[in-house]
Chains A and B, each alone.
Chain A
């Protein structure tokens, strides 16, 4: 039996238990749990299911389909982000290009595995093209603010997120769909655990120290430390899912945790600035996808690049495998 498969089944069972528990709690009358918090937790559990299904697709269906799903998420996250920021009519054409040309092309390049294109096209070309197009319309009011906001939204929602499905295009030593799905599962699991572990610290610390009290009081130094050590531990244990040695997996898991917590903190700051609580409450009736994927967006590029560097080392060592490093 493949380790990744066993782990996958394990995650399935855990998710099933969590879903069952929340369903029972929801149907319980006169329960002492705050229903609002329960709802919030349920939406989180649902997003875990969605991510889990992504991994299953990567395994049994095609890589292309997973890339398409991430592309759709990117598109939706981007529209939430742009709805939030104030744009002017002169930005209209630039925004059209971003939504209907830039987003699809980025994911098509990922699908074609053109690393040289998708890793540089946005920073070296689109970031410069946006100000040009906007300047052409001659509206200079808040010009610098507008181009910065649009560029940042593109960076977070499209460029960074596209590295998550790009994990499936890496050339692994054992080139099977199970190995690829394992790498994606490892990454998604670590990002979600880095949110779950700080949540558990609330039980141990009565008076935690928030990192930035006026941004988000639930992001604490204790939570960050606990999250990083927790993901280091789980990352080392889950190492057989990836082709890398255990120490490397532990360290990259820690890096993922750091970036993921930083990502949710950053998006909280953006929300505070614009005066909304959730991207979901931005327009009535929309579930905020950006609330769910903020950690994935920030952690994806760094995990992709570390994996790529490790794989290059592996190739330079003559394909003897990472076992030689012990």
Chain B
């Protein structure tokens, strides 16, 4: 991603936090700034994307991995705004630490407003590999939103999935995977632009899928990718 500015100090001295996340995260204390901030962001994304959504599965608070196609900066916000409030409380978006962890405002948005899981992208070693870190921060309570393509696509086509999704499911095979198809966002805020054009978009939540026993890595990733492509076909 173009905005990824590597912070050399941070990446050279990774400090793995060993303690598990507290059951009530700080941003759920209903501090006025957090409530207002979330309302502003979800209102803004609804206005810009005309966001409507449809669910093929039921919204639920059980532990899930939401995975979606990625074309725009607004994708995460649009998915988040499309969820009912009781689901939002247990959902943690996954974001890049080098970008969202630096400065004053970005960590505020990422941590306090959206309770993001921030992951290292550079210097990934065994002790801080992203999959373990994600699973640790999910604990037994939280769901996450990820974009398995690994970055925003400039064309409307979907890229091949990265293998992280597979390794995660291998460690926690009971996790429900919910495919999400986001329509038209690549025209609203495409990669490389920062001015949004308020066209109409739509978020479709698909039926859950699981890692089968003895399923090969590539088969699983293809099946997951196909699930999103099927949603795309249905929404047309």
Q: Is the CB of A80 within 8 A of B200?
A: yes
**Contact flags A74-115 to B (C-beta < 8 A → 1, else 0):** 010001101100010100110110010000000000000000
Q: A87: nearest residue on chain B (CB-CB)?
A: B187
Within 8 A of B (CB), among A251-307: 282-286
Give the size category of B's interface with A: 20 to 34
Q: Which of B53, B154, B196, B202 contacts A96 (CB 8 A)?
A: B196
Q: Is the CB of B195 within 8 A of A93?
A: yes
Give the residues in chain A near B50, CB-CB below 8 Å. Answer: 79, 283, 286
Q: Is the CB of B184 within 8 A of A283?
A: yes
Contact A285-B54, Cβ < 8 Å, known A83-B184, A92-B190, A92-B193: yes
**Contact flags B122-160 to A (C-beta < 8 A → 1, else 0):** 000000000000000000000000000000001000000
Secondary structure call for the A interface? helix
Give the residues in chain B near A92, CB-CB below 8 Å. Answer: 190, 193, 195, 197
Q: A88: nearest residue on chain B (CB-CB)?
A: B187
Bound CA span A283–B195, Å: 22
The answer to the question of B52 belonging to the interface, with a C-beta cut-off of 8 Å to chain A, is yes
Bound CA span A268–B201, Å: 22
Q: B53: nearest residue on chain A (CB-CB)?
A: A285
Bound CA span A92–B191, Å: 11
Q: Is the CB of A285 within 8 A of B198?
A: no
- Residues in B lying within 8 Å of A, measured CB to CB: 50, 52-54, 154, 183-184, 187, 190, 193, 195-202, 204, 235
Q: Is the CB of B195 within 8 A of A96?
A: yes
Contact A79-B235, Cβ < 8 Å, known A92-B190, A284-B52, A286-B50: no
- Residues in A lying within 8 Å of B, measured CB to CB: 75, 79-80, 82-83, 87, 89, 92-93, 95-96, 99, 282-286
Bound CA span A215–B45, Å: 36
Q: Is the CB of A283 within 8 A of B197?
A: no
Other 11 A-B pairs with CB < 8 A, given A79-B50, A82-B197, A285-B54: A83-B187, A83-B200, A89-B154, A92-B193, A92-B195, A92-B197, A96-B195, A99-B197, A282-B200, A285-B202, A286-B52
Bound CA span A89–B155, Å: 10
Q: Is the CB of A284 within 8 A of B198?
A: no
Give the residues in chain B near A283, CB-CB below 8 Å. Answer: 50, 52, 183-184, 200-202
> Shortest beta-carbon distance, A193 to chain B, in Å?
30
Give the residues in chain A near B202, CB-CB below 8 Å. Answer: 283-285
> Shortest beta-carbon distance, A149 to chain B, in Å?
14
Give the residues in chain A near B196, CB-CB below 8 Å. Answer: 96
Bound CA span A122–B197, Å: 19
Q: Is the CB of B193 within 8 A of A286?
A: no
Contact A95-B54, Cβ < 8 Å, known A283-B202, A285-B202: no
Q: Which of B54, B183, B193, B198 contacts A99 (CB 8 A)?
A: B198
> Shortest beta-carbon distance, A42 to chain B, in Å?
20
Bound CA span A79–B201, Å: 10
**Those 5 A-B pairs whose CB atoms lie nearest each other, nearest first:** A285-B52, A283-B200, A96-B195, A95-B197, A83-B199
Question: 23 A-B residue contacts at CB 8 Å?
Answer: A79-B50, A79-B199, A80-B200, A82-B197, A83-B187, A89-B154, A89-B193, A92-B193, A92-B197, A93-B193, A95-B197, A96-B195, A96-B196, A96-B197, A99-B197, A283-B50, A283-B183, A284-B52, A284-B54, A284-B204, A285-B53, A285-B202, A286-B50
Q: Which of A79, A93, A286 contacts B198 (CB 8 A)?
A: A79
Q: Is the CB of B200 within 8 A of A286?
A: yes
Q: Is the CB of A82 within 8 A of B199?
A: yes
Give the residues in chain A near B199, CB-CB below 8 Å. Answer: 79, 82-83
Q: B183: nearest residue on chain A (CB-CB)?
A: A283
Q: Which of B54, B190, B200 contacts A89 (CB 8 A)?
A: B190
Interface centre among A79, A87, A92, A93 (most CB of B within 10 A): A92
Bound CA span A285–B183, Å: 13
> Shortest beta-carbon distance, B115 to chain A, in Å?
28
Give the residues in chain B near A285, CB-CB below 8 Å. Answer: 52-54, 202
> Shortest beta-carbon distance, B176 to chain A, in Å?
23
Bound CA span A75–B48, Å: 12
Bound CA span A80–B50, Å: 10
> Shortest beta-carbon distance, B232 to chain A, in Å?
12
Bound CA span A285–B195, Å: 25
> Shortest beta-carbon distance, B200 to chain A, in Å?
4
Give the residues in chain A near B184, CB-CB below 8 Å. Answer: 83, 283
Give the residues in chain A near B154, CB-CB below 8 Å. Answer: 89
Give the residues in chain B near A83, CB-CB below 8 Å. Answer: 184, 187, 199-200
Give the residues in chain B near A93, CB-CB below 8 Å. Answer: 193, 195
Q: B54: nearest residue on chain A (CB-CB)?
A: A284
Q: B195: nearest residue on chain A (CB-CB)?
A: A96
> Shortest beta-carbon distance, B23 to chain A, in Å?
35
